[in-house]
Structure 1
């Protein structure tokens, strides 16, 4: 019965994930092209100012609704009973939070070493006002695995974002081009979500329902808020210690390392929260879902991380021009952080929330933060932006990952069953790393050719030992059948 339940939910989640991946892939590919254009139109300092505003925005984005959105996804009863109260809670909390950030923007910008970022912070954080209005409707679409509708809304919003941002950057608007583009895109996305969700607008407030939502949502929001602090605290530390120019290089490397979490992680969260929430109703089903999910995630993330780490210099040179090469040493270590982020932030956290253990996400991110901040400060002082990246990676591997696994075990998730599925990707990672470092050390040629030859062959070296023989045999038979046709 457990296998049937896992298969049923897996099919729904798989369909949603395909749509989510398609939408995210197109959006991230277009976002990458946009970043290439903006990197040529804007100065390094503009990226530094934007990094300060982005740090503030990414924090408010995850706590904007007091966890109401996660609570709606996990809710066991009828959504129509809680929608009016949930909508009011989300909007009131977001409005109060925005007021605090409006007042505190000058102090936050000064702390990050970029006082001129105040206006950009105030403009960019305004996106939470739109997101608060659509939070419940987005949660309902995620709960129903209607990722096709969310993908359509996000793609339309990105088209507006790109058009506004590039136009303003060409006109000399500097860091404001980022903020105006994102705000315009969020407004369009929100309007489409409201139309597609087809939920009647009912405003009301039930104290009992509000208390239940907040008991679940507030710890969840605090956990996500700490996660956002973790991922963006390095911008504040680097900006305050090393200045805007070095922060610009650091931001570029961090953005590259966030490609996979941004594309795959965001798509995964759209389905993992509702999927694990349903599996969590049965402990055996949840453990089986984890057993199947972890090896697949690791098998996808590890080869990408190894390419980023070993070919950071040609990657940055080809994509962003040689003047951005100081970002390459940073990227090599942030690739390690990327792997841990995918496991802890997009898998462990979602599983803990789905079981109702929202307080555990607070302890996970709090423990990570306590280790991270001194590591970042020491790293930036002694090793510049490269040292900050080393500190970020060390805290992730030595503290966050073990702590996350410990918290999963405390929730009764059987992790020992996951280990056999990790043997192949682990061995394949070692083989790929040794191969690529050896090949890159003797390779002489243009950076683009190095990326194609060393990176492409490295991915193949990983795929061969990582893929089970039965799967390889089936793929071989299918390939032969296509050749005969």
Structure 2
């Protein structure tokens, strides 16, 4: 494949090694491996960075940053008028739309930045902290970078070139981290986050443009622009509503309770975003291009893909949610210290939200891949209409804990049914997916029971409680959910590797030569639906897809 060409052509001959769907699966799998490993490295660095900054800054700084991030991320979701998703999903060749898509994305991001420069003081005042105005203006400038690089980022996603996205995002983080920590150490407060993320985004943007190898050109074909906007604008509206879903709590909690409680709340939200940022972002990097290619085949192929993806995602995420929900005090105190302990009661309920967020995000990508962008609008709109008043009531009745409870209740009772309904109306077979989820859900209940029972009899030492109770609960989930044949196969592989290592290298003859056994790593920074409210890299423009 040459640079500038689509990895999977919009039309093509079936792959002799397993059909076109098989080729799509292999390319998506390669992209997913890059994404997972790249996100793992990124999250590890972000976590270390958060530990440092939690000791340099105070909760009020995190609260101011959270207000600015809420504004910036809302702009991020509508920043490119849906161009990234439209380019990834485009059925023709990239060269047909690149000049027009570039103009649309840049014009949209510049116009939105101008609007938010003007409204920044009003947004900060509405959020209960007028001092956030300058931080909002600096942080929102990252969206200008995303507009400039939108088409090139989409090209890398479309070709499943997550290795190049990984490199660009890791370089950006390596720029972001020292700038942020250095400014925090000199007393810059919340501005340290904003300037660090802006410089990191600029470094990532330069590399994306270089690595995408898409000829830089600008032009405006009205027919192409019309097709892009017909697809992209409904998705843009949907993602704007998703921005409200993710950031309304920051505004409401900050206005109702003040900056310090907001800092505790946002720390808990950040912890609950680790898995969506690591696993969810990696999945979303390949979900839209992968399901888009499957949708070109037929709806049956797409339904089979959904039937495999959803139970697998739940099986990965649910045991982590159980540990976070049942052992929240141990998690918070172990990582951040006693002064952040009030965040634990929030984390218990946001762990539930975490699972629903990831399922809804995957559903939005599936619907976008099918061209059903209007359905994504109704899904997110229904969720937002129920959430905003619930957050207001919850924050006033029970503080930050009440806001978290409101989030969890609305997610379960409103968002999940709307997600299933939207997929069903789009033609996806939902019943097989529901039946496949029974075993993971029962396994989650078993894991929760085991974890809670052991937590009551282990010493009140966070590390010990996490290892004993959390480890036992996770093991119970795996033994219940993973088929015995699969466990036996994995055990055989581990035993074989251990035996080979114990045997040592051969003493006679040359060393064996063969292909590398380690697959390519993974791409990218955090994603749509993630909010790094404590230190870490700002979500890039790809994540919102």
The TM-score range, normalised by the shorter chain, is over 0.9
Structure 1 position 445, deviation (Å): 3.5
The corresponding residue for 1:408 is 423
Q: Does 1:18 align with 2:26?
A: no
Structure 1 position 483, deviation (Å): 4.3
CA RMSD of aligned residues (A): 1.2
Structure 1 position 6, deviation (Å): 3.4
Q: Does 1:177 align with 2:195?
A: no
Return the alpha-carbon distance in structure 1 between the equivalents of residues 245 and 453 of structure 2. 34
The corresponding residue for 1:201 is 216
The structure with the largest helix share of the pair is 1
Return the alpha-carbon distance in structure 2 between the equivalents of residues 121 and 368 of structure 1. 26
Conserved? CA contact 2:250–2:262, under 8 Å: yes
Return the alpha-carbon distance in structure 1 between the equivalents of residues 22 and 449 of structure 2. 38
Q: Does 1:421 align with 2:432?
A: no
Within the candidate set 367, 374, 388, 2:403 is matched to: 388
- Helix, strand or coil: the match of 1:298? helix
- Helix, strand or coil: the match of 2:428? coil
Q: Does 1:327 align with 2:343?
A: yes
Conserved? CA contact 1:130–1:190, under 8 Å: yes
Return the alpha-carbon distance in structure 2 between the equivalents of residues 327 and 180 of structure 1. 26
Q: Does 1:149 align with 2:186?
A: no
CA deviation map 1:46-105 (0-9, x unaligned) = 000000001011111111100011100000111111111100000001000000000000
- TM-score normalised by L of structure 2: 0.87
Counterpart mapping for 1:98-109 below 5 A: 98-109=113-124
Q: Does 1:476 align with 2:491?
A: yes
Q: Does 1:312 align with 2:331?
A: no
Return the alpha-carbon distance in structure 1 between the equivalents of residues 125 and 309 of structure 2. 43
CA deviation map 1:257-298 (0-9, x unaligned) = 000111111111110000011111211110000011011100
Within the candidate set 182, 186, 192, 2:207 is matched to: 192
Q: Does 1:294 align with 2:323?
A: no
Structure 1 position 480, deviation (Å): 3.3
Q: Does 1:303 align with 2:319?
A: yes
CA deviation map 1:314-356 (0-9, x unaligned) = 10001011000000000000000000000002x1000010010
Return the alpha-carbon distance in structure 1 between the equivalents of residues 40 and 80 of structure 2. 27
Counterpart mapping for 1:210-359 below 5 A: 210-281=225-296, 282-345=298-361, 347-359=362-374
Q: Which deviates further from its counterpart, 103-112 or 426-435? A: 426-435
CA deviation map 1:190-221 (0-9, x unaligned) = 00000001111111111111011000000111
Conserved? CA contact 2:80–2:105, under 8 Å: yes
Within the candidate set 40, 56, 63, 1:48 is matched to: 63
The corresponding residue for 1:68 is 83
Return the alpha-carbon distance in structure 1 between the equivalents of residues 103 and 497 of structure 2. 56
Conserved? CA contact 2:153–2:212, under 8 Å: yes
Counterpart mapping for 1:427-446 below 5 A: 427-446=442-461
Conserved? CA contact 2:333–2:462, under 8 Å: yes
Return the alpha-carbon distance in structure 1 between the equivalents of residues 134 and 493 of structure 2. 57
Higher relative contact order (CA 8 A, sep 6+): 2
The corresponding residue for 1:163 is 178
Conserved? CA contact 1:5–1:285, under 8 Å: no
- Helix, strand or coil: the match of 1:280? helix
Within the candidate set 45, 64, 67, 1:30 is matched to: 45
Return the alpha-carbon distance in structure 2 between the equivalents of residues 214 and 484 of structure 1. 58
- Helix, strand or coil: the match of 1:332? helix
Structure 1 position 249, deviation (Å): 0.3
Return the alpha-carbon distance in structure 2 between the equivalents of residues 445 and 410 of structure 1. 49
The corresponding residue for 2:468 is 453
Conserved? CA contact 1:54–1:121, under 8 Å: yes
- Helix, strand or coil: the match of 1:172? coil
- TM-score normalised by L of structure 1: 0.98
Return the alpha-carbon distance in structure 2 between the equivalents of residues 248 and 292 of structure 1. 38
Return the alpha-carbon distance in structure 1 between the equivalents of residues 23 and 94 of structure 2. 22
The corresponding residue for 2:155 is 140
Conserved? CA contact 2:231–2:371, under 8 Å: yes
Return the alpha-carbon distance in structure 2 between the equivalents of residues 365 and 45 of structure 1. 31
Unaligned stretches of 5+ in structure 1? none
Aligned residues: 484
Return the alpha-carbon distance in structure 1 between the equivalents of residues 39 and 494 of structure 2. 29
